[in-house]
Amino acid sequence: MTRLSSPEKLECARKDIVSRIDPTKPCISVCAGAGCLASGAAEVIAAFKTELEFHGLTTEVNTKGTGCPGFCERGPIVMIYPEGICYLKVKPEDVPEIVSHTIKEKKVVDRLLYEDPATGTRALRESDIPFYKNQQRNILSENLRLDSKSMDDYLAIGGYSALSKVLFQMTPEDVMGEIKKSNLRGRGGGGFPAWRKWEESRNAPDPIKYVIVNADEGDPGAFMDRALIEGNPHSILEGLIIGAYAVGAHEGFIYVRQEYPLAVENINLAIRQASERGFVGKDILGSGFDFTVKVHMGAGAFVCGESSALMTALEGRAGEPRPKYIHTAVKGVWDHPSVLNNVETWANVTQIITKGADWFTSYGTAGSTGTKIFSLVGKITNTGLVEVPMGVTLRDIITKVGGGIPGGKKFKAVQTGGPSGGCIPEAMLDLPVDFDELTKAGSMMGSGGMIVMDEDTCMVDIARYFIDFLKDESCGKCTPCREGIRQMLAVLTRITVGKGKEGDIELLEELAESTGAALCALGKSAPNPVLSTIRYFRDEYEAHIREKKCPALSCKEMIAFHIDPEKCKACGSCFRQCPAEAIQGGKKLIHIIDQEKCTKCGTCLDVCPSRFGAVRKISGEPVPAPVPEDKRAIA
Amino acid sequence: MDISRIDQIIDKHDGEASSLIQILLDIQSEHNWLPKEALKRVCERLQVPMSRITHIATFYKAFSLVPKGRHQVHVCMGTACHVRGAQRVLDTVQEVTGVKSGETDSDLKFSVETVNCLGCCALGPVMEVDGKHHGNIAPSQIASVLNNCE
Ligand SMILES: Cc1cc2nc3c(=O)[nH]c(=O)nc-3n(C[C@H](O)[C@H](O)[C@H](O)COP(=O)(O)O)c2cc1C
Ligand code: SF4
Ligand code: SF4
Ligand code: FES
Ligand code: FES
């Protein structure tokens, strides 16, 4: 591949690529994102190849694997162009029908379309599906338009024009001005204005500077960075080069977690392609600007996502946070000024330059501009990635986009902001989602994880869960974090196993205060999930402590399983499946559970036919005595 | 163990001390663990003290200083998976394999590991066996997946 040595040559190359695309030619794109791959997308793609070959259609029909468009729950997702038909949950067995019906005869396979659960109407196109209709997918929609491994696809949709514009029509100050005007705030956690970090680095006298992509995505339950870097790696790279030009850096790093092998593969490929074409390396597009970039794999430590720890890891050391008396923007990697931004932040940079700061600020609120991608997961009907303008209410996200809570259950809380965030109760669902409103509610934006919980989730257990997570992830360097978290975990565990004491809630609040004195934000924000659950769900804590009852029937040590003798029909399902052999059964005999042997796995409740519904979970009350031997026979 | 292969890995990273973590990751991905001789070689070639190498190898979860099983089972314990029953998945995996999380069985068949998030949160609970994800996994399906491993 030849290097493109001027903006004109880039435009020529782009025209050439576009001219070779026939918009009327059928194209089958299959989402090859991690979620769809886990549901069998690779087998679907292989089936399409075989089937097209069988019909002799390989040259007449294009096929491509794209990045995640968000609706992972319904994957594998197949889109048929030019019509834009969207098929969901496609299996390899469906492929022959799609090819013969849709590709050859131009007919729709109805059963693969989205069906509205309320009305039963089917949606032909993606844009007709309520999940998508209520979003504003400025960034995510690009994933669908390209094969994540193809640079030509990226160039075809205008890729690297922002870089070319920056290098030839804008001074670094102009770029800085545009980003400042856009009021872009970091999407990785704190929501710090991007331009301020950039400016600090730019003004630092040290001539060696770095720019860095934080693709560690340590937040459990969030996967937007994964989707972006896998699905559209060039857009991240382009944003990074633009940032480098603005701050005067010539070297960059992309820190990706090793748990995301496809992201590592795709970003490495993108860098190779970009250097072959002259977007990376010496004299980029003939502008005289040089920039090289290296991928650094994380090795599985949450704390390494913290800026100073990440920089230490880049130096090849154990990634422990450092005190930041001087900002990393001034003294970062090897003590040189280093600008670190999140994946989604960099993706926004590319768009702001292409479409302008005014376009960007037309979305969102005054304090939080643009759109934000959320990972809407947990107990929600439509799980996946959701991009909405900042300021949309939680209720709209959960009901309009997410389709509400499945299984007729009741909504309990939504957890935002990951381990540093908090739980928001139903009464606050009309809260507009932006950086400041979430903080006011005792939670935070974080990277955008939204974990929805229904009535079956115990809020004390959730607090314990996060503190347990943080106990493992604390680097242990500073005492308030190490000891504070350990003590909080001991108290929370005590409460969830039914040994809570009066005063435990107050003790947690006290511990939270001292943990706040920790060195980095991991320790400082660790109490958030605890404090927010105490604030909004204090009654659940009290029930655990005073009544020895878990209202959500979730804490294993506080529940028991019981078979209702009136309802048991002796079908034997539970008896056969109980892994602990804790159930005594027999033909026409009421089944009973030996509480000593029961491991509380819950299988009996799952397998008891719903028409009998004989198994019950109980908490906070004594388990009824088993039916005496002579009364067990069912008439 | 093939020392020349270790040398190749080190050379791929230009023998730079700052690439230490990347070198260890490459060795780990080839051997499934970090054998002592390999670490000694890295120590000599990069001129970094053994104490720093052991510090890194114990700090990061990806590394193991003991041999791992032929089949790697990862159970996601991330928040999205947690609220959808990850604990029951883990309990069942431990029961089926007889291996506790963080451990390997004596005939080196299975290593069981918990992870914080595999990035397929929409499909929680998620279990990964030898790099293949199993989304929306129900405890009752686990035995059949694992029994397929030789
Ligand atoms: C313990 C800890 C973990 C973090 N993990 C991440 C992460 O995985 N990804 C990320 O982008 N930011 C993470 N952050 C926030 C970063 O320190 C930093 O603020 C951010 O990457 C800056 O980018 P932004 O301004 O574009 O958001 C973490 C912070 C802390 C304290
Ligand atoms: S499955 Fe239900 S009805 Fe059947 S024996 Fe068990 S408890 Fe009784
Ligand atoms: S909860 Fe599990 S162990 Fe206890 S009786 Fe039911 S199936 Fe058996
Ligand atoms: S991975 Fe396919 S839709 Fe998300
Ligand atoms: S929380 Fe389990 S895959 Fe993300």
Mean pLDDT of the region A247-251: 98
| Count of alpha carbons within 13 angstroms of residue B7, beta-carbon side | 3
In DSSP terms, which residues pair with A376 in a beta bridge? A384, A450
Mean pLDDT of the region B65-70: 92
Q: Is the CB of B21 less than 8 angstroms away from the CB of A313?
A: yes
Supply the mean pLDDT for chain A: 94
Residue type, A304: C
DSSP character at residue A454: E
Q: Is the CB of B95 less than 8 angstroms away from the CB of A579?
A: yes
pLDDT digits (tens, 9 = 90+) for B121-131: 999 999 999 98
- Report whether A95 contacts A53 (CB < 8 A): no
Residue A290: per-residue pLDDT: 98
pLDDT digits (tens, 9 = 90+) for A133-191: 999 999 999 998 899 999 999 999 999 999 999 999 999 999 999 999 999 999 998 89
The answer, yes or no, to whether residue B17 has pLDDT greater than 90, is no
Q: Where is average pLDDT lowest: A9-13, A142-146, A184-188, A334-338? A: A142-146
Question: C-alpha angle with apex A195: A192 to A199, nearest 5 degrees?
Answer: 120
- Report whether A284 contacts A241 (CB < 8 A): yes
Please state the pTM of the whole predicted model: 0.93
Residue A12: per-residue pLDDT: 96
Alpha-carbon span A163 to A284, nearest angstrom = 9
DSSP character at residue A630: G
Nearest to A296 among B22, B77, B118 (CB): B22
Which residues touch A423 (CB under 8 Å, ≥6 apart)? A413, A414, A415, A443, A453, A459, A462, A529, A532, A533, A536, A537
A529 preceded by a cis bond (ω within 30 of 0): no
Measured from the CB, is residue A220 less than 6 Å from ligand 5? yes
Q: Is the CB of B61 less than 8 angstroms away from the CB of A301?
A: yes
| Count of alpha carbons within 13 angstroms of residue A46, beta-carbon side | 6
Q: Is the CB of A377 less than 8 angstroms away from the CB of B124?
A: yes
DSSP helix/strand/coil, A65: strand
Residue A326: per-residue pLDDT: 82
Q: Is the CB of B80 less than 8 angstroms away from the CB of A375?
A: yes
| pLDDT bracket for residue B18 (50, 70, 90) | confident
> How many angstroms away from the CA of A4 is the closest CA of chain B?
28
Q: Tokens 């405890």 correspond to what residue?
A: B139
- Element housing A314 (H / E): helix A307-314
For residue B123, list chain A residues with Cβ-Cβ distance below 8 A: 35, 38-39, 72-73, 383
Mean pLDDT of the region A473-488: 90
> How many angstroms away from the CA of B149 is the closest CA of chain A?
18
Residue A441: per-residue pLDDT: 87
Residue type, A577: Q
pLDDT digits (tens, 9 = 90+) for B131-142: 899 999 988 889
Residue A190: per-residue pLDDT: 82
pLDDT digits (tens, 9 = 90+) for A30-45: 999 989 998 999 999 9
Which residues touch A93 (CB under 8 Å, ≥6 apart)? none
Mean pLDDT of the region A294-305: 90
Nearest chain B residue (CA) to A259: B118
Q: Which of A592, A608, A616 to mutate to test the pocket of ligand 2 (most atoms within 8 A of CB)?
A: A608
| Count of alpha carbons within 13 angstroms of residue A540, beta-carbon side | 28
Structure tokens at A600: 């509380």
| Count of alpha carbons within 13 angstroms of residue B49, beta-carbon side | 3
A26 preceded by a cis bond (ω within 30 of 0): no
Distances (CA, A) of A360 to A182, A184, A357: 6, 9, 5
Which residues touch A8 (CB under 8 Å, ≥6 apart)? none
DSSP character at residue A606: H
Provide the pairing of β-strand A27-31 with A62-66.
parallel
| pLDDT bracket for residue A199 (50, 70, 90) | very high
Structure tokens at B143: 């035995």
| pLDDT bracket for residue A477 (50, 70, 90) | confident
Residue A64: per-residue pLDDT: 92
Phi, psi dihedrals of residue A525, rounded to the nearest 5°: -100, -5
Q: Please report which ligand is nearest the Cα atom of A37.
A: 4
> Counting beta carbons within 10 angstroms of the beta carbon of residue A86, is it exposed (0 to 12), middle (13 to 18) or buried (19 or more)?
buried
Residue A2: per-residue pLDDT: 83
Measured from the CB, is residue A522 less than 6 Å from ligand 1? yes
Structure tokens at B100: 């506790």
For chain B, the first-to-last Cα distance in angstroms comes to 24
Structural domains for chain A = 22-142 (3.40.30.10), 159-361 (3.40.50.11540), 371-454 (3.10.20.600), 459-547 (1.20.1440.230), 559-631 (3.30.70.20)
> How many angstroms away from the CA of A283 is the closest CA of chain B?
24
Measured from the CB, is residue B118 less than 6 Å from ligand 5? yes
DSSP helix/strand/coil, A292: strand
For chain A, the first-to-last Cα distance in angstroms comes to 83
Mean pLDDT of the region A78-88: 95
Q: Is the CB of A603 less than 8 angstroms away from the CB of B140?
A: yes
Torsion of Cα atoms, A574 then A579 then A580 then A585, to 10°: 30
> How many angstroms away from the CA of A74 is the closest CA of chain B?
9
C-alpha A91 to ligand 5 mean position (Å) = 23
C-alpha A16 to ligand 3 mean position (Å) = 66
| pLDDT bracket for residue B1 (50, 70, 90) | confident
Q: Which of A377, A380, A381, A420 to mutate to test the interface with B (most CBs of B within 10 A)?
A: A377
- Report whether A85 contacts A114 (CB < 8 A): no
Torsion of Cα atoms, A522 then A528 then A529 then A531, to 10°: 150
- Report whether B129 contacts B71 (CB < 8 A): yes
Nearest chain A residue (CA) to B92: A601
Q: Is the CB of B24 less than 8 angstroms away from the CB of A299?
A: yes
Residue A15: per-residue pLDDT: 97
Residue B98: per-residue pLDDT: 92
Q: Is the CB of B122 less than 8 angstroms away from the CB of A384?
A: yes
DSSP helix/strand/coil, B86: helix
Question: C-alpha angle with apex A403: A400 to A407, nearest 5 degrees?
Answer: 155
The answer, yes or no, to whether residue A635 has pLDDT greater than 80, is no
Measured from the CB, is residue A193 less than 6 Å from ligand 1? no
Mean pLDDT of the region A431-439: 92
Mean pLDDT of the region A475-480: 87
Alpha-carbon span A463 to A528, nearest angstrom = 9
In DSSP terms, which residues pair with B75 in a beta bridge? B114, B127
| Count of alpha carbons within 13 angstroms of residue A533, beta-carbon side | 30
Count CB atoms within 10 A of the CB of residue A546: 11
C-alpha A450 to ligand 4 mean position (Å) = 17
| pLDDT bracket for residue A618 (50, 70, 90) | very high
A76 preceded by a cis bond (ω within 30 of 0): yes
Q: Is B76 annotated as a binding residue?
A: yes
Alpha-carbon span B61 to A473, nearest angstrom = 10
DSSP helix/strand/coil, A339: strand
Question: C-alpha angle with apex B131: B129 to B135, nearest 5 degrees?
Answer: 65
| Minimum CA distance residue for ligand 2 atom 1 | A608
Q: Is the CB of B133 less than 8 angstroms away from the CB of A34?
A: yes
Mean pLDDT of the region A480-506: 95
The answer, yes or no, to whether residue A1 has pLDDT greater than 80, is no
Structural domains for chain B = 3-59 (no CATH), 71-148 (3.40.30.10)
Nearest chain A residue (CA) to B59: A318
C-alpha A188 to ligand 4 mean position (Å) = 21
Measured from the CB, is residue A328 less than 6 Å from ligand 1? no
Alpha-carbon span B135 to A615, nearest angstrom = 27
Burial B48-64 (b: 16+ CB within 10 A, else e): beeebbeebbebbbbbb
Alpha-carbon span A355 to A349, nearest angstrom = 10
Q: Tokens 């958030």 correspond to what residue?
A: A528
| pLDDT bracket for residue A119 (50, 70, 90) | confident
Residue ranges with strand state E in A4-73: 27-31, 62-66
Residue A325: per-residue pLDDT: 77
Residue-level length of chain B: 150
- Atom number of ligand 5 nearest to Cα B79: 1
Measured from the CB, is residue A515 less than 6 Å from ligand 1? no
pLDDT digits (tens, 9 = 90+) for A549-584: 999 999 999 999 999 999 999 999 999 989 889 999
For residue B115, list chain A residues with Cβ-Cβ distance below 8 A: 259, 300
The answer, yes or no, to whether residue A336 has pLDDT greater than 90, is yes
| Minimum CA distance residue for ligand 3 atom 4 | A598
Nearest to A259 among B92, B115, B124 (CB): B115
- Atom number of ligand 1 nearest to Cα A194: 25
Nearest to B119 among A34, A300, A301 (CB): A34
> How many angstroms away from the CA of A424 is the closest CA of chain B?
15
Mean pLDDT of the region A43-61: 95
Q: What value of ipTM does the predicted structure carry?
A: 0.90
Q: Which of A306, A314, A372 to mutate to test the pocket of ligand 1 (most atoms within 8 A of CB)?
A: A306
Q: Is the CB of A297 less than 8 angstroms away from the CB of B21?
A: yes
Alpha-carbon span A65 to A612, nearest angstrom = 46
